[in-house]
Amino acid sequence: MTFLVTMLLVGRTVQTAVRRNLCRPFSASKNYLHERKGLVLGVFEDEGEEGRLHLTEAAAHFNQSVSGRLSELLQISGPKLKKGKSRIFYGIHKDFPCVAVVGLGKNDAGVCGAENWDTSKESIRQGMAAGCQLLQELELNTVEVDGCGDAQSAAEGATLGLFHFDQLKSKKKTKVSLQLHGSADAEGWEKGITYAEGQNLARLLMEAPANHMTPTAFANIIEEKLAPHAQRVTINKRPQNWIKEQQMGAFLSVSKGSEEPPVFLELHYNGSPDGKQPPLLLVGKGITFDSGGISLKPSPSMDAMRADMGGAATVCASIVTAAALKLPVNIIGLAPLCENMPSGKATKPGDVVTAKNGKTIQVDNTDAEGRLILADALCYGHSFNPRAIVNVATLTGAMDVALGSAATGVFTNSNWLWEQLHKASVVTGDRVWRMPLFQHYTKQVTDSQLADLNNIGKYSRSGGACTAAAFLREFVTAPHWAHLDIAGVMSNKDEIPYLRKGMSGRPTRTLVEFAASLAHDG
């Protein structure tokens, strides 16, 4: 027992571990941790006896390989391991100098109706992310991860948890290679990696500063990401002249205040075996920087408006992911990309512009620009006779006020489409919540002094997310359309435990899961 106690080094958090110098036993051999793998294992709460822990299958096998030392160390290391909390043990296995053990809560918790997600999947994502982050701080290059009975969720949590935008910093976090531990579901693991990498791509696009992520740069990056799938993908980067030819006056009115030229990015993923299946149409708001235009935003937090192209980022990342997964479904992605800037050429409050469908719009607030570029994109998208239309946008601060970061707000004219999106979000844990599309809101945008529509509601701030959705509905004739307002879920502080602070890339995995369900249902 004395030997075990001396070998036990427990760190409840990375900060605690660093503060107490728990890595000191390895300082004599600088490369020791780099030469060997770290391991993340999970433990569930035992249903039968309070405070006891139930090892996952992988953890039980590991415990057997070290003659029961893991379970003994867990017993003497203090109170029970709560969900999302971690402990680190050193030196108990020759191949794994560091073993992180994380609490997963109750086993088989399943879908929770009150929370609208699968609690087991969320606990696994949270636990694997916490364990991998601990080992990343110890600068291990390779980490094996417990599948925890759900390898896809484990892979998602680990991959999402390790993402950190440090491309522009001289000092970067350790790059960690993830591997599945044991003989768990390898196919599910790879699927989870692909889902999470898709969301991380959206995070990368959203986090990049606006002088690096211009409309042209955005389009080029997506083209590069889709290059390996060229046989199934067609990419059109439509220039300003094409936009003018299409009579997209609403889109052009937003872009003309900037020196950066607009780009209308059009992606076609042809995954259907016969190629005849009507496509799913995804449309994403692509404002690569939003100053507010002449209706200038206040300067505090304006830097976050580099992520006002989050709709385009999640839509394009979803198509990259669908192509990587080879989903048997046809998807068309549209991303009107531009900056919204003040200048002598910029649209002025009170100006009237004409959308692609001929409707005139009085622009009383140039900071309500996302709905303008989406209006033209939605009109154009109808020409493909899509099976369903889903547009995604960081559209209104009112959505953040209404739901915060708990869920994406969904406005839809289709019960079927709502059910499909909701079902997908329960699986991914990246939730959606249905919002109203009453005529009450439509009247507020159609009552305009100078034009057919006004780009802000009659009562300004009241029901702002709802009036914005009502405005978009004026450009939709398809029977299955949904507008996803992602302003509230754009960034993460500490609300989602397996995402670090920064831009979230939500709800990319929900969009992918939704597309996969359409492929499965035919």
- For residue range 5-29, what is the model confidence (pLDDT) as tens digits? 334 433 333 333 333 333 333 333 4
Same domain? 340 vs 471 = yes
Same domain? 235 vs 179 = no
Residue 297 appears among annotated catalytic residues? yes
Please identify, among 123, 153, 184, the residue that sits at the C-terminal boundary of a domain: 184
302 located within any domain: yes
DSSP reduced 3-state for 205 = helix
pLDDT at position 26: 38
The pLDDT of residue 80 is above 90: no
Domain span at residue 310 reads: 228-521
DSSP state of 121: H
Please identify, among 150, 166, 184, the residue that sits at the C-terminal boundary of a domain: 184
Q: What is the CATH number of the domain that holds 144?
A: 3.40.220.10
Same domain? 113 vs 242 = no
How far apart CA 201 and CA 505 sit, in angstroms, is 8
214 located within any domain: no
Position 142, amino acid = T
Residues 472, 390 contacting (CB under 8 angstroms): no
Least Cα distance to 204 among 518, 511, 505 occurs for: 505
- Give the orientation angle of helix 439-446 with respect to helix 464-473, to 10 degrees: 80
Same domain? 178 vs 300 = no
> Band of the pLDDT at 208, cuts 50, 70, 90?
very high
347 located within any domain: yes
pLDDT at position 382: 98
Least Cα distance to 252 among 415, 156, 361, 409 occurs for: 361
Task: Please name the residues in contact with 443: beta carbons below 8 A apart, sequence gap of 6 or more.
Answer: 458
Catalytic: which of 52, 106, 173, 297?
A: 297
Same domain? 70 vs 125 = yes
Beta bridge partners of 483: 391, 411
The pLDDT of residue 461 is above 60: yes
How far apart CA 196 and CA 321 sit, in angstroms, is 9
Average pLDDT value for the chain: 92
Same domain? 150 vs 279 = no
CA dist list (Å): 308 to 164, 337, 356, 463: 19, 10, 23, 21
pLDDT, tens only, 304-333:
999 999 999 999 999 999 999 999 999 999
Task: Please name the residues in contact with 453: beta carbons below 8 A apart, sequence gap of 6 or more.
Answer: 359, 360, 361, 362, 445, 446, 471, 474
| DSSP calls for 26-53 | GTTSTTHHHHS-EEEEEEEEPSSSTT-E
118 located within any domain: yes
How far apart CA 75 and CA 69 sit, in angstroms, is 10
pLDDT at position 507: 98
Residue 431 appears among annotated catalytic residues? no
pLDDT at position 35: 58
pLDDT, tens only, 473-518:
999 999 999 999 999 999 999 999 999 999 999 999 999 999 999 9
Residue keyed to tokens 């998208």: 381
The pLDDT of residue 415 is above 50: yes
Least Cα distance to 206 among 504, 507, 510, 406 occurs for: 504
The pLDDT of residue 51 is above 80: no
Burial class (CB in 10 A: 0-12, 13-18, 19+), 491: buried
pLDDT at position 47: 66
Same domain? 165 vs 253 = no
* CA 475 to mean position of chain CA atoms: 27
57 located within any domain: yes
Same domain? 177 vs 284 = no
Same domain? 100 vs 249 = no
Backbone angles phi, psi at 153, to 5 degrees: -65, -40
pLDDT, tens only, 89-133:
999 999 999 999 999 998 878 899 999 999 999 999 999 999 999
Please identify, among 122, 155, 184, the residue that sits at the C-terminal boundary of a domain: 184
CB contact burial 358-389 (16+ within 10 A = b; e otherwise): ebebbbbbbbbbbbbbbbbbbbbbbebebbbb
CA dist list (Å): 226 to 55, 110, 233, 282: 41, 35, 7, 16
pLDDT at position 416: 98
How far apart CA 163 and CA 175 sit, in angstroms, is 9
Same domain? 142 vs 289 = no
178 located within any domain: yes
Q: Could you give the number of structural domains in the chain?
A: 2
Same domain? 370 vs 498 = yes
217 located within any domain: no
pLDDT, tens only, 223-252:
999 999 999 999 999 999 999 999 999 999
84 located within any domain: yes
pLDDT at position 12: 38
pLDDT, tens only, 180-205:
998 879 999 999 999 999 999 999 99
Task: Please name the residues in contact with 354: beta carbons below 8 A apart, sequence gap of 6 or more.
Answer: 247, 249, 250, 360, 361
Burial class (CB in 10 A: 0-12, 13-18, 19+), 413: middle
Residues 519, 327 contacting (CB under 8 angstroms): yes
How far apart CA 418 and CA 41 sit, in angstroms, is 37
Q: What global pTM score does this model have?
A: 0.93
> Band of the pLDDT at 1, cuts 50, 70, 90?
very low
What percent of the chain has a predicted confidence (pLDDT) above 70?
92
> Band of the pLDDT at 77, cuts 50, 70, 90?
confident
Same domain? 141 vs 288 = no
Residues 65, 181 contacting (CB under 8 angstroms): no
Q: What is the CATH number of the domain that holds 414?
A: 3.40.630.10
Least Cα distance to 204 among 160, 174, 173, 238 occurs for: 160
Catalytic: which of 69, 203, 237, 371?
A: 371
